[in-house]
Chain A
Amino acid sequence: MGSIATSGHAVDLAKLEPVFDKYKDMANGSLIPVLQGAQDAYGFLPIAALQAIAKRLNVPISQIYGVVTFYAQFRLVPRGKHVIRSCQGTACHVRNSARILESLKTVLGVAPGDTTEDLKFTLETVACIGCCSLAPVMMIDTDAHGRLRPDRVPKILDSYSN
């Protein structure tokens, strides 16, 4: 897991109100839906939001942390504006996807699972995205980029720079 964003920028807790409101009639068991709603609102789960949830739902913060780290769907670190999924499937592997990933790591300066400091890109690896004919391939958000060469990576990333 990457480092946990402690404060950085202020968290707008007002974004939680509609989430609380939606599940206010659930006597128990609203924690997971509330966490999902919070993640939708912030893109990840900031500590300040989790503390507010702990207080409102009267659930210990430690327990919330347990839930958040148990389920792969929850993120404690912000994701970038664009998510890059570098394919490491068999077809991509034999077409040297390792070099593509190396290039991504060098250009972005982050390891898989991490996000660039300017919060533009999150780098992830994926086992197969089902475009083996385009190998080696990566996806940025919903766009597939195939028949990659390491030297093309910077230019592709540039086209997402805003």
Chain B
Amino acid sequence: MTKTVSITIDNQTVTVPAGVTVWGAARKLGIHIPTLCHHFDVKPYSGCRVCVVEVQGGRALTAACSHPVTDGLVVFTNSPKVREARRLVVELLLANHPHDCLTCDRNQTCELQKLALDLGVKEIRFEKSKPTWEIDDTSPSLVRDPNKCILCGRCVRFCADKQTCAVYTFANRGFSSIVTPAFGKGLGEVHCTLCGQCSSICPVGAITVKDDTAAVIAAIDDPEKIVIVQTAPSVRVALGEMFGDAPGSVVTGKMVAGLKRLGFDRVLDTNFTADVTIMEEATEFTHRLNAGKDIPMITSCSPGWINFMEMFYPDLIHHHSTCKSPQQIFGALVKTYYAQKENLDPSKIVSVSIMPCTAKKYECTRPEMNASGYQDVDYVLTTRELGRLLKSYGVSFNDLAPLPYDPVMGVGTGAGTIFGNTGGVMEAALRTAYEVVTKKTLPAIEFTAIRGMGGLREAEIDLDGSKIKVAIAHGLGNARMVMESIKAGNPRGWHFIEVMACPGGCISGGGQPIATDINYRAKRIAGLYDDDRHLSLRKSHENPEVQQLYTEFLKEPCGHLSHKLLHTTIHNAHADLL
């Protein structure tokens, strides 16, 4: 039995398990203690002092985010002393913070801005004392502005503890303190996988996503160009949050309508190529399994994960599926198959993707991603960029009448949809692999054994007599455990492994809307499973447009043309990084 303690916060008594913090206990009572450095995804740090509370009998104010409850503790979260201290902390932070909120990427999603408003900070009595730093735009996906950094260390902790990449550190001391990669290098010069989680967890605008909207607008405004857009699975369960919807609301139809309003010539679905990925990957897996070669096979849809693998485990690259990600398969097909079918000049096609992911911005620029003879995907916009674009075009998103995707590459199955969450690619692959291998219909389509939020999940799947051991990892810390296990000779006997770089999968990618709800991951995942459940087609191989693609163009999965267009070689493209 868990030990409980009883504590009194603001004259209300509550019983909580021993070990929780004052901050956590207050939440139970509906008391919101403001925080900046504290975040539910990382360990407490007690750096910012915004969450200070008064503990009866205590010498000084204490940080609620890390102070453990003890029996009989009496806490005041809103005494005059506390209010004054909090306001002072925020005032001091603002003194060193640029006052360019109106033009900041995080205007209205900035936690410092909100805090200043909530606490009623009306004047700043102090002068700026920090040095001015150069903006770091060396990364293909992210921009660091250390001048906006409030040294909360959320990115430092997330990158080190959750992603085990430890790109960031606190360097120097006093006013010269800065959060930076080692040796003051740019993000583009170090082993950063570009997962972008730091940009989501940053409370202010110190780490933001590179903005490619201007280039996309220019393409749309160019009458010569045919601008074709694809939308990733997980965008549809998150975009609505930027317009006031609850996390997990499925807004597919409105999103398609919104993209048409922006002037995209064709709106197509990445779910279609997720289904193609499954056709290829399931076939590749059965080939490898029969040949007993390069097992376990690991999925390759997540470019942050690909970067991680190439950077940290280059010797194990052959375990990767050679399949490109759905985004890149889409890009290769849109300028070949689609262009032929629709009688379009591929040189005039501008291929844009809407992604939850910051690493996708890099993936599309990799030199080998030009199988069509052109850059397969020209621009990647994140969900956040799309939301902003819709707002700037005056699109009243909530009032839009839903529209369907355009044909030929616009049909996606439920299997494609669940690519957006941890376990989804595996489940989609198993739905197809089972039926292709056994030639029987699946008795139960939902593989509930592999669902959930466990960081590293395992299951044994019976493919009509042959047992397949699968593993699913999300978050790069869990991915590292998988790789260490493979390095040690794969003692768990895995055959097929799904890895996604971001915790929860693409639904919480670095380019998704800034989360305001502690359960946003579970809610977005529930949204995708819900979407899957309501689709009439739920298995990739039953997608009629995919069947048409193979009959008319590719002929067979993993065939000659597939290898040319849909598969790639993964190699260490990052050897010169620090």
Contacts and interface: CB of A to CB of B under 8 A. Distances in A.
Interface of A: 4, 47, 60-66, 69-70, 76
A37 B456 CA distance: 40
B110 interface: no
B420 to A, nearest CB: 30
A69 B578 contact: no
B170 interface: yes
Contact of A62 (B172, B173, B182): B182
Given A61-B166, A62-B181, A69-B172, 19 more contacts: A4-B184, A47-B578, A60-B166, A60-B169, A61-B182, A62-B160, A62-B167, A62-B168, A62-B182, A63-B166, A64-B182, A65-B169, A65-B182, A66-B170, A69-B171, A70-B170, A70-B171, A70-B172, A70-B173
Which 6 interchain pairs have the tightest Cβ spacing? A60-B166, A66-B169, A62-B169, A65-B182, A69-B171, A62-B182
Interface string B154-195: 000000100000111111110000000111100000100000
B168 to A, nearest CB: 6
Interface of B: 160, 166-173, 181-184, 190, 578
Contact of B183 (A47, A60, A63): A47
A51 B283 CA distance: 42
B166 A65 contact: no
B161 to A, nearest CB: 11
A64 B160 CA distance: 13
Nearest to B190: A62
Main secondary structure of the interface of B (DSSP, over half): mixed
Contacts of A60: 160, 166, 169
20 contacts: A4-B184, A47-B183, A47-B578, A60-B166, A61-B182, A62-B169, A62-B181, A63-B160, A63-B169, A64-B182, A65-B169, A65-B182, A66-B169, A66-B170, A69-B171, A69-B172, A69-B173, A70-B170, A70-B171, A70-B173
B324 to A, nearest CB: 31
A61 B159 CA distance: 13
Contacts of A61: 166, 182, 578
Given A60-B160, A60-B166, A61-B578, A66 B183 contact: no
A47 B182 CA distance: 10
B493 to A, nearest CB: 28
Q: Which of A4, A62, A64, A66 is packed against the most chain B CB atoms within 10 Å?
A: A62
B263 to A, nearest CB: 43
A24 B90 CA distance: 45
B303 to A, nearest CB: 22
Contacts of A65: 169, 171, 182-183
Contacts of A4: 183-184
Q: Which of A60, A64, A70, A76 is packed against the most chain B CB atoms within 10 Å?
A: A60
A69 to B, nearest CB: 4
B171 A66 contact: yes
B190 to A, nearest CB: 8
B128 to A, nearest CB: 21
A61 B169 CA distance: 9
A6 to B, nearest CB: 8
Contacts of A63: 160, 166, 169
A65 B160 CA distance: 14
B354 to A, nearest CB: 32
B23 to A, nearest CB: 26
Nearest to A72: B173
A66 B182 CA distance: 8
Contacts of A47: 183, 578
Nearest to B156: A62
Contacts of A70: 170-173
A60 to B, nearest CB: 3
Contacts of B170: 66, 70
Contacts of B182: 61-62, 64-65
A51 to B, nearest CB: 8
Contacts of B168: 62
A61 B168 CA distance: 10
A38 to B, nearest CB: 16
A78 to B, nearest CB: 15
Contacts of B167: 62
A41 B167 CA distance: 28
B213 to A, nearest CB: 31
A65 B190 CA distance: 13
A9 B181 CA distance: 24
A61 B170 CA distance: 12
B176 to A, nearest CB: 9
Nearest to B170: A66
A76 B172 CA distance: 12
A55 to B, nearest CB: 12
A140 to B, nearest CB: 29
Contacts of B578: 47, 61
A61 B183 CA distance: 9
Nearest to A47: B183
A60 B191 CA distance: 11
